[in-house]
Amino acid sequence: MSPAARVAKDAIGAGQLAGGSWGNELAGDLATATAEFFQLVAERSIIGRMAGLRRMPLLTKAISVIGGSTAHWVGQGKAKPITAMVFGDTFLPSRKVIALTVITRDLLESADPAAEGVLKTDLLRAVVDALDSAFVNPANAGIADVMPASITNGLTPSADLEALVSDFAGDLSAAVFVMNPATAVSLSSADRPNIGARGGELFGVPVVTSRNVAEGDITLADPTGIALGEGTAAVRITTEATIEMKDSAPTQDATTGTGTVLVNLWQANAAGIVAERAVNWQVARPGSVAYIAAGSG
């Protein structure tokens, strides 16, 4: 039985948050299950597959170079030119993406291995969809204190693929294309045999595909100019919480303490499973991202 399944079944036995007071073995299983789950998130999400992102701690100010120095050749006995470096501060507040679902205890306690697969697949899809859409959707201007803006928000789209590459101000040798799998397929040809639904290369630049990118949109990003902060990650299971059963705009929070459509999980013979990850990003160096909007060129 996998760690995720053992945590789920043991948690049901006492109806508390898994890992709260379970002893060393179960606590180890919970940590393993969480690590396995978010490893899968990394393998499938854009930020997990985009190599070279500038990783930094959340809630920590870091110095970034906005304008770099320039080296020169100097003749014997000649004065050495100097250039000024331009510095900026990068600070990533903690933002949280969560996937919360409610299922029956019968499903959670099921001996059928397929049950675990159904739960994990659904939560995995939800977290990856939320991350990918927020990261590259040009319409995402962010929500104050809730969600970061996308790396493409506020940019003027390039006219076509040729202009995207020629106008790109980032380091093309470190860059990555991001697009929908269908867009990648449409670009495949005899002249471009190395690109397809699962990515590949375009002009020698790695391609990352995601179904959460609008078909026709193409983003070109230099990961070394994008700051990414990742904090705590957790998978929790409970059978005793009271949950507001609304899939959008729930009204219960720490401020009001009230809500509608409240359901007690124990009374309903149900269980709540939540996967949450603290994460944030920011374009730290101007010019590191450019994109084509659907319908351009």
| Domain residue limits, the chain | 1-62+85-150+157-297
**Predicted local confidence at residue 59, as pLDDT:** 87
Range from 118-132, 148-162, 239-253 carrying the lowest mean pLDDT: 239-253
**Predicted local confidence at residue 6, as pLDDT:** 45
Average pLDDT of the segment spanning 73-90: 78
**DSSP one-letter string for 229-278:** EEEEEEEEEESS-EEE--SSS----TTT---SSEEETTTTTEEEEEEEEE
Query: Does position 125 have pLDDT exceeding 80, yes or no?
Result: yes
Query: Does position 215 have pLDDT exceeding 90, yes or no?
Result: yes
**Predicted local confidence at residue 241, as pLDDT:** 84
pLDDT band at residue 154 under the 50/70/90 scheme? very high
Query: Does position 179 have pLDDT exceeding 70, yes or no?
Result: yes
Looking at every residue in the chain, the average pLDDT score rounds to 83
pLDDT band at residue 19 under the 50/70/90 scheme? very low
Q: pLDDT tens-digit profile of 29-81? A: 667 778 888 999 999 999 999 999 999 999 887 766 666 677 878 888 888 88
Average pLDDT of the segment spanning 165-193: 96
**Predicted local confidence at residue 88, as pLDDT:** 67
**Predicted local confidence at residue 199, as pLDDT:** 97
Query: Does position 15 have pLDDT exceeding 60, yes or no?
Result: no
**Predicted local confidence at residue 257, as pLDDT:** 55
pLDDT band at residue 258 under the 50/70/90 scheme? low
Query: Does position 173 have pLDDT exceeding 90, yes or no?
Result: yes
Of the two residues 152 and 32, the one the predictor is more confident about is: 152
Of the two residues 149 and 73, the one the predictor is more confident about is: 149
For residues 275 and 235, is the Cβ–Cβ distance under 8 A? yes
Query: Does position 271 have pLDDT exceeding 60, yes or no?
Result: yes
**Predicted local confidence at residue 26, as pLDDT:** 35
**Predicted local confidence at residue 184, as pLDDT:** 98
Query: Does position 12 have pLDDT exceeding 60, yes or no?
Result: no
**Predicted local confidence at residue 147, as pLDDT:** 97
For residues 110 and 79, is the Cβ–Cβ distance under 8 A? no
Of the two residues 126 and 118, the one the predictor is more confident about is: 126
Spatial separation of the C-alpha atoms in residues 209 and 211, rounded to whole Å = 7
Q: Under DSSP, is residue 175 helix (H, G, I), strand (E, B) or coil? A: coil
For residues 206 and 190, is the Cβ–Cβ distance under 8 A? no
Spatial separation of the C-alpha atoms in residues 62 and 226, rounded to whole Å = 13
For residues 107 and 120, is the Cβ–Cβ distance under 8 A? no
